Amino acid sequence: MKTIAKQNMGNQAQPNTRPLPTKARELLQDQQAGLLVWIRPPKQGVEFYSGFSRSKLYELAGKGEIRSVSIREPGAIKGTRLFRLSSVLDFIAKCEESMRTSDAKESLEGTNNQLN
């Protein structure tokens, strides 16, 4: 597990991490209807808006279920991966809708079996 070193700068402690690329910083500050447009995967735990872990976000993006973009400077090995929050929330809504549909279908099948 990686720990973040902190430098003491007066009363404010600043994390000692690599800087975000300019484009990534711009995308992370973009908001729509009060919600962020792009989110970063959590280093540990779960993401605030969706409750998905880092690995789940990468898995869903790999399957094409949610949108993501990798921001890298030309020639850089490392970059920043961002996920489109609206696509994550749409995926959750789609799962909820399919659950309702399957529950309603099972309920109908159960009623038909009872009548027979």
Which pLDDT belongs to residue 23?
A: 78
DSSP string, 37-82: SEEPPPSSSB-TTT--BHHHHHHHHHTTSS-EEEE--TT-S--EEE
* pLDDT (0 to 100) of residue 111: 57
19: confidence class by pLDDT, cuts 50, 70, 90: confident
pLDDT value for 90: 94
Give the HSE-up count for residue 111: Cα atoms under 13 Å, Cβ half-sphere. 6
Greater confidence (8 vs 60) lies with 60
User: Do 14 and 6 meet the contact criterion of CB atoms below 8 Å apart?
Assistant: yes
User: In which band, very low, low, confident or very high, does the pLDDT at 115 lie, cut at 50, 70 and 90?
Assistant: low
